[in-house]
């Protein structure tokens, strides 16, 4: 809390040292504290977890100088440090000691796949050699020319998918295609332990003390608990037509089951979908006493830390891949507690092809996108450790000192994943776009940095978007700024900025953790833009117009508007209104002399900037005509036509605008009858007109003539006529 308060005061001090004119426009910021936020950048020996923490990644080393063609299906680690792996389609077993690779076993004709390996003691390797003549082989690792010995072979067991060995020497085999589990006693006498209603038993795991054997199947994806002594079995869960590919046993007896169904690998060929930062983290609770029970009896302490703490629904915000929907739509990892509760804890848009539990963390290998994922069930922390892209991670094995071995397909390679992280790494952000040339503020790098380690940030800027293609047009990387120091960025003002985080750690130190990066910037003030202004007559309104305009500000500033008008041939602008916020204004032209006028709007960003730096832009309308005088009529005459009709003729005059209409009305009936123009169209200020009444009865009649101009001004004249009977 003290460090954050100190940082806040430092930021205020730095801001106070900057000239006021530099801080006119509103300060904006880029924030990096989520997996999604970092995802568009590039990682070098670093990673980010689902809580938005960026840290050094684990050290990963390829052990084969030249990858093999084919699949590495199984990996085993011997106590003497040797590594063994089995392949297909050539069905060989290889040994790695140091950096040397040799063939330990080449199969006879008919055995094309090695699907499983398992160390038997210190000097024997069990090999599941499968094909037309499948067998479980025991290869002695003593001597230079080991000879395999067949321990098990059965025509019905064409595939041996997994091998487990109990502490008493019993060997368990998961086979197909008849769903059989075979067991071999220490004397290698085989008998059928169970036959399940599936085609293949894909994975095996032994619980603590070897009390139970756990089996995972294809088909409906069963997880079955078996008693090796009695052979009795019990189904713990069904994954609903999702193949159980891998099993693991947690520290406190929890069973983890992973699925690998191709129709649930939604992101085949796609990219890793990152997520926003989860809300909060699971909290570790001490042992608490559960109340109740019988009087006089002590309540049993319940250790909350020993219970699975996953999300209760697969669509929870802390799931690793947004849009997962549920366990039925993606491949999943399920946690099965000691009480039988089954909870989906992770959804993965790939097939989960391998899984181990190591030091409280599940390690997952996927295909077809070759992702190595770690997940801590207790803290719900998940991390994409590596994306191999061209590799499927088919096999995993625990090695010495917390290391992990991976076997891959497409390019057969063995990777060693170290327990410790890299000594140094970096993260380079995507190119950040300020939209306009900008000044840079203070980079806030909130990091937990152990003594002796370091975290620093470098920046560079430019005015072309591609920093890689046009690097010579960008500034050089700045001097590193230590995390938590709040020094201003020295890169020159520009439109684009990029930052790079540098992370180092001493040997055996935990990695520094970058919890958030915030970079403030301030665009240079740019004048507003008035894109259009129009003026039109006010509907049903005499001597008034409507002014409409469109304006925007590149900085997003609040705009203030003022309106002015000017008469043609006059040198001055007269203010109509100011401090307007709307972009529509009704302007009354009553009392203005007849003439040509235009209106100007001035848009100012003063509400968001000091007056010394505020900018304004003006735009004016086209000229429009204002006429307040009424039209008039001359040469008005009436003549009686045969049959009792009256013909009216005359000349209509208007000022500066066209005569729009001439009409007559007889005896105030309000039945206005349009007159005809001399040239059929009334479109000029001077129009001769004529009109003829209906047949009128004998007697006196008053005929009114009305003239209307284009601006709605009107005038009237009348004539008195007498029709003789």
Confidence of residue 486 (pLDDT cuts 50, 70, 90): confident
**Mean of the pLDDT values across residues 346-359?**
94
- CATH 2.60.40.10 domain position(s) in the chain: 529-626
pLDDT digits (tens, 9 = 90+) for 278-296: 777 777 555 444 333 343 3
Q: Which CATH class is domain 2-57+424-523?
A: mainly beta
pLDDT digits (tens, 9 = 90+) for 640-681: 988 889 999 999 999 988 999 999 999 998 899 999 988 878
Average confidence score pLDDT of the chain: 87
Report d(CA 459, CA 457) in Å as an integer. Answer: 7
**Mean of the pLDDT values across residues 102-114?**
86
Sign of CA dihedral 468, 471, 474, 476: positive
pTM assigned to the model = 0.72
Burial class (CB in 10 A: 0-12, 13-18, 19+), 22: middle
Lowest-confidence segment of 257-266, 349-358, 469-478, 557-566 by average pLDDT: 257-266
pLDDT digits (tens, 9 = 90+) for 585-605: 999 998 899 999 999 999 999
Six token digits for residue 514: 């970058």
Q: What is the 3-state secondary structure (H, E, C) of 190-239?
A: EEEEEECCCCCEEEEEECHHHCCEEEEECCCCEEEEECCCCCCEEEEEEC
Q: How far apart are the first and last CA of the chain?
A: 110
Count the alpha carbons within 13 Å of 271 in the hemisphere toward its beta carbon: 6
Q: What percent of the chain has pLDDT over 90?
A: 71
Sheet holding 83-88, edge to edge: 71-77, 83-88, 93-97, 100-105
More reliable by pLDDT, 315 or 129: 129
For residue 277, is pLDDT > 80?
A: no
Confidence of residue 167 (pLDDT cuts 50, 70, 90): very high
Confidence of residue 450 (pLDDT cuts 50, 70, 90): very high
- Per-residue pLDDT at 301: 32
- CATH 2.60.40.650 domain position(s) in the chain: 632-723
**Mean of the pLDDT values across residues 72-91?**
94
- Per-residue pLDDT at 25: 61
Q: What percent of the chain has pLDDT over 70?
A: 88
- Per-residue pLDDT at 126: 97
For residue 298, is pLDDT > 70?
A: no
Lowest-confidence segment of 176-185, 392-401, 534-543, 691-700 by average pLDDT: 534-543
Confidence of residue 540 (pLDDT cuts 50, 70, 90): low
Residue pair 220/226 in contact by the 8 Å Cβ criterion: no
- Per-residue pLDDT at 404: 97
Burial class (CB in 10 A: 0-12, 13-18, 19+), 89: exposed
**Mean of the pLDDT values across residues 156-184?**
96
Six token digits for residue 384: 């994409």
For residue 307, is pLDDT > 50?
A: no
For residue 262, is pLDDT > 70?
A: yes
Confidence of residue 318 (pLDDT cuts 50, 70, 90): very low
**Mean of the pLDDT values across residues 478-503?**
96
DSSP per residue over 409-426, as a string? ESSB-EEEEEEEEPSEEE
Residue pair 649/677 in contact by the 8 Å Cβ criterion: no
Sign of CA dihedral 481, 484, 488, 494: positive
Lowest-confidence segment of 12-26, 201-215, 525-539 by average pLDDT: 12-26
Lowest-confidence segment of 43-47, 246-250, 589-593 by average pLDDT: 589-593
CA distances from 11 to 6, 8, 16, 519, 520 (A): 9, 5, 9, 12, 11
Neighbours of 611 (CB within 10 A): 7
List residues bridging with 7 in a β-sheet. Answer: none
Scored b (16 or more CB within 10 A) or e, 346-375 reads bbbbbbbbbbbbbeebbbbbbbbbbbbbbb
Residue pair 434/481 in contact by the 8 Å Cβ criterion: no
Which 8-state DSSP code applies to residue 519?
E
- Per-residue pLDDT at 329: 79
Confidence of residue 99 (pLDDT cuts 50, 70, 90): confident
- CATH 2.60.120 domain position(s) in the chain: 2-57+424-523
Regarding the domain delimited by 529-626, which CATH topology (the fold level of the hierarchy) does it fall under? Immunoglobulin-like (2.60.40)
**Mean of the pLDDT values across residues 503-528?**
93
Q: What is the 3-state secondary structure (H, E, C) of 664-695?
A: EEECCCCCCEECEECCCCCCCCEEEEEEECCC
For residue 472, is pLDDT > 50?
A: yes
For residue 38, is pLDDT > 90?
A: yes
Q: Which CATH class is domain 632-723?
A: mainly beta
Report d(CA 324, CA 317) in Å as an integer. Answer: 10
Closest-CA residue to 625 (of 715, 537, 714): 537
């Amino acid at each position: 809390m003290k460090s954050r308060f100190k940082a806040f005061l430092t930021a205020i001090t730095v801001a106070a040292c900057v000239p006021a004119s530099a801080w006119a426009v509103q300060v904006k910021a880029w924030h990096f504290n989520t997996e999604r936020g970092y995802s568009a950048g590039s990682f070098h020996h670093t990673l980010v977890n689902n809580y938005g923490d960026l840290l050094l990644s684990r050290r990963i080393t390829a052990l084969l100088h030249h990858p093999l063609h084919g699949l590495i299906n199984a990996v085993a680690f011997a106590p003497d440090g040797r590594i063994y792996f089995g392949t297909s389609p050539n069905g060989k077993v290889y040994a790695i000691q140091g950096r040397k690779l040799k063939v330990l076993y080449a199969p006879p004709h008919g055995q094309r796949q090695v699907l499983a390996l398992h160390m038997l003691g210190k000097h024997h390797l069990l090999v599941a050699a499968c094909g037309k003549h499948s067998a479980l082989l025991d290869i002695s690792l003593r001597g230079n020319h080991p000879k395999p010995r067949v321990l098990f072979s059965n025509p019905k067991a064409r595939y041996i998918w997994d091998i487990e060995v109990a502490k008493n020497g019993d060997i368990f085999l998961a086979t197909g295609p008849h769903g059989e589990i075979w067991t071999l006693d220490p004397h290698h006498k085989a008998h059928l332990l169970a036959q399940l209603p599936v085609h293949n038993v894909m994975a095996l795991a032994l619980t603590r003390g070897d009390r139970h054997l756990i089996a995972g199947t294809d088909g409906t994806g069963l997880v079955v608990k078996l008693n090796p002594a009695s052979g009795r079995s019990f189904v713990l869960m069904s994954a609903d037509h999702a193949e159980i590919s891998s099993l693991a046993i947690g520290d406190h007896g929890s069973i983890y089951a992973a699925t690998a169904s191709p129709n649930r690998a939604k992101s085949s060929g796609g990219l890793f979908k990152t997520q926003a930062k989860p809300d909060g983290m699971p909290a570790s609770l001490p042992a608490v006493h559960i109340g109740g029970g019988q009087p006089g009896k002590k309540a049993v302490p319940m250790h909350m830390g020993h219970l699975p703490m996953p999300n209760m629904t697969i669509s929870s915000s802390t799931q690793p891949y947004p849009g997962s929907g549920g366990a039925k739509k993606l491949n999943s990892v399920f946690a099965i507690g000691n009480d039988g509760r089954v909870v989906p804890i992770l959804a993965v848009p790939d097939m989960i092809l391998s899984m181990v539990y190591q030091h409280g963390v599940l390690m997952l290998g996927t295909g077809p996108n070759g992702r190595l994922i770690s997940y801590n069930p207790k803290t719900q922390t998940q991390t994409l450790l590596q994306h191999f892209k061209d590799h499927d991670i088919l096999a995993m094995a625990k090695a010495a000192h917390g290391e992990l071995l991976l076997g891959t397909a497409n390019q057969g390679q063995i990777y060693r994943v170290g327990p410790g992280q890299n000594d140094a790494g970096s993260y380079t952000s995507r190119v950040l776009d300020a939209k306009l040339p900008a000044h840079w503020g203070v980079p806030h790098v909130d990091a937990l940095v152990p003594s002796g380690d370091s975290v620093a940030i470098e920046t560079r800027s430019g005015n072309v978007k591609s920093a890689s293609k046009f690097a010579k047009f960008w500034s050089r990387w700045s001097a590193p700024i230590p995390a938590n120091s709040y020094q201003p960025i020295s890169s020159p003002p520009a439109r684009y900025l990029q930052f790079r985080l540098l992370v180092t750690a001493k040997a055996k130190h935990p990695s520094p953790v970058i919890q958030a990066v915030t970079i403030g910037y301030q665009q240079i003030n740019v004048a507003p833009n008035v894109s259009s202004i129009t003026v039109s007559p006010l509907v049903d309104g005499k001597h008034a117009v409507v002014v409409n305009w469109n304006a925007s500000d590149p900085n997003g500033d609040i705009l203030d508007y003022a309106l002015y008008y000017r008469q043609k041939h006059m040198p001055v602008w007269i203010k109509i209104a100011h401090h307007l916020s709307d972009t529509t204004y009704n302007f009354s032209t009553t009392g203005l002399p007849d003439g040509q006028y235009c209106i100007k709007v001035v848009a100012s960003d003063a509400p968001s900037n000091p007056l010394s730096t505020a900018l304004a832009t003006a735009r004016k309308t086209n000229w429009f005509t204002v006429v307040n005088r009424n039209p008039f009529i001359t040469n008005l005459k009436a003549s009686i036509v045969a049959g009792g009709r009256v013909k009216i003729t005359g000349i209509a005059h208007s000022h500066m605008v066209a005569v729009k209409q001439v009409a007559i009305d007889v005896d105030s009936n309000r039945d206005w009858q349009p007159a005809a123009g001399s040239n059929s169209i009334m479109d000029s200020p001077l129009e001769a007109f004529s009109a003829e009444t209906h047949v009128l009865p004998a007697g006196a009649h008053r005929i009114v003539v009305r003239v209307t101009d284009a601006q709605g001004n009107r005038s009237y004249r009348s004539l008195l006529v007498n029709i003789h009977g």
